[in-house]
Homo-oligomer: A and B are copies of this chain.
Amino acid sequence: MDLQLAKGVQDIAPEDKILMNEVVGKLKTVFELFAFAPLETPIIERYETLTAKFAAGEASDALKETFQLTDQGGRQLGLRFDLTVPLARFVAMNPTLKLPFKRYEMGVVFRDGPLKAGRTRQFWQCDFDTIGSESMLADAEILAVWEKGFSSLGIDVELKVNNRKLLNGLMEQIGVKEKESALVAIDKLDKIGKDGVKKELIERGLSSKQSEEILALIKTGVSLEQLKSRVTNLEAQQGIKELEELFSYTKQMGLKKVVFDASLARGLAYYTGTVFEAYAQEGRITSSLAGGGRWDDMIGKFMGGNRLVPAVGASFGLVPILEVLKEKAEKLGVRNKSPAQVYVMPINTIKESLALVQELRENGICADISLGKKGVSKNLEYASSLGIPYVIILGEDELKKKKVLLRDMKTGAEQLLNTDGVIKKLKM
């Protein structure tokens, strides 16, 4: 049998999964510190839900990249392509839910798309959203979670903020009709530069003058105050007002990483107000580490009728975050393949070694024991290959002395210690 993974998916081996669990665990702690509650939606959704035109948006790749399947009853199903559509479906299906509803969800999503570097067909998303609050306090809290989250991961970031009402209003002000299409081009400013965007704006139907005007308005480094003085359109003024309120809150919360960036657009069609993106301030990863924004319309559309259910949220990009952390870990040279702190090697002392390894575990020390592997050198080689930092050798000599031999695998140093001594040393 020719063994292969399904195309475009991957195993996450222990050395990577250990790091990933650390990240996911830290994000969970931060989400809960900010009172976001966990939700788990299913991986399988009705195809009709996933393809609702107000969900992914007609232009979105997600739609044509949805994995389709049927159950034995012939029902049309699909694998979720994000965690936002299932959240909107959940809120719409639970009209008695207390609002604001603050939830986080971390889990895998699927895209049956072309494979590029760093893209897989199954990948993790780490989302958090506040449903049911129009207040800019909710937007400020998203940024506070990001700042705390990245600081707990040890990644120095800059949090860029803009507002779709401002962008849309600015385009309206200079007579642009193709606003949604123009946003897709503006979103590429980082990647293709000013000239590239100008060219694409013209392709998307803007005049050369309009393209230059919009690029001048949102030029790098323009402050909210500078821009404010040039805004005449009502929607753009509303965007400015929201940003001012938001920045007053982030200041009162003591956030230090938040900056206004008039050119930040975000690709997705469903954003309605604030948009955010997070970028690493060091290292070689230049793509955004997190993104999000306000999406006030989708849930109401799922519910039908005219109810507005405001929503704001963001995602930590687990894939680029892990890239940043791996880059750091490689510098440090630490990538364990086992959670064990110590590996116990019995030499004709199986009974006492079993009691010892259990005592270590009772004391909260992650401990492994040789499972019948023969020979000191083979056992040492095994512990070393897994990156286990300490080995205990328990032979008959040590037993007589009521001690064990603790070997530091990094330095090779060995110490004769009693069990309490080992526990004290490994608990440090």
- Chain A interfacial positions (CB closer than 8 Å to B): 1, 3-14, 17-18, 20-21, 28, 32-46, 48-49, 52, 67-69, 71-73, 75, 77, 79, 89-90, 92-94, 98, 100, 102-103, 108, 110, 112, 121-122, 130, 133-135, 137-138, 140-141, 144, 148, 249, 252-254, 302, 304, 337-340, 343, 350-351, 354-355, 358, 361, 364-369, 371-373, 382, 385-386
CB of A8 within 8 A of CB of B71, answer yes
Candidate in A3, A140, A252, A368 with the most chain B CB atoms within 10 angstroms:
A3
Cα distance A39–B103 when bound, in Å?
A: 26
A344's closest neighbor in chain B, by CB? B35
CB of A338 within 8 A of CB of B11, answer no
CB of A18 within 8 A of CB of B1, answer no
Cα distance A373–B35 when bound, in Å?
A: 16
Cα distance A361–B11 when bound, in Å?
A: 36
CB of B11 within 8 A of CB of A41, answer yes
- A93 CB contact (under 8 Å) in B3, B28, B46, B148: B3
Cα distance A13–B90 when bound, in Å?
A: 9
A336's closest neighbor in chain B, by CB? B37
Q: Which residues of B contact A385 (CB under 8 A)?
A: 98
CB of B68 within 8 A of CB of A40, answer no
CB of A6 within 8 A of CB of B71, answer yes
Q: Which residues of B contact A108 (CB under 8 A)?
A: 43
CB<8 Å pairs between A and B, sample of 25: A3-B93, A3-B302, A5-B89, A7-B73, A9-B42, A9-B44, A12-B39, A14-B39, A17-B38, A21-B28, A33-B366, A35-B343, A67-B69, A68-B69, A72-B112, A100-B373, A102-B338, A130-B371, A134-B372, A135-B372, A137-B372, A141-B369, A141-B371, A249-B350, A252-B351
Given contacts A6-B75, A133-B371, contact A122 B42 (CB under 8 A): yes
Cα distance A49–B44 when bound, in Å?
A: 21
A357's closest neighbor in chain B, by CB? B253
A47's closest neighbor in chain B, by CB? B6
Cα distance A18–B387 when bound, in Å?
A: 33
Given contacts A92-B3, A339-B35, contact A40 B11 (CB under 8 A): yes
The 8 closest A-B CB pairs, nearest first, are: A135-B372, A35-B368, A14-B37, A9-B42, A32-B339, A35-B340, A12-B40, A133-B371
**Apart from A3-B93, A102-B338, 9 more pairs, CB < 8 Å:** A1-B52, A3-B49, A5-B46, A5-B93, A9-B42, A14-B103, A36-B339, A44-B122, A140-B354
Given contacts A304-B1, A337-B37, A371-B138, contact A98 B6 (CB under 8 A): no
Q: Which residues of B contact A364 (CB under 8 A)?
A: 33
Cα distance A367–B33 when bound, in Å?
A: 6
Cα distance A102–B386 when bound, in Å?
A: 11
Q: Which residues of B contact A11 (CB under 8 A)?
A: 39-42, 90
Cα distance A21–B134 when bound, in Å?
A: 30
Cα distance A137–B374 when bound, in Å?
A: 14
Q: Which residues of B contact A94 (CB under 8 A)?
A: 13
A368's closest neighbor in chain B, by CB? B35
Q: Which residues of B contact A354 (CB under 8 A)?
A: 137, 140, 249, 252-253
Q: Which residues of B contact A98 (CB under 8 A)?
A: 337, 382, 385-386
Cα distance A90–B38 when bound, in Å?
A: 30
Q: Which residues of B contact A302 (CB under 8 A)?
A: 1, 3
In the complex, what's the smallest C-beta–C-beta distance from A47 to chain B, in angstroms? 9
Given contacts A52-B1, A133-B372, A135-B372, contact A35 B367 (CB under 8 A): yes
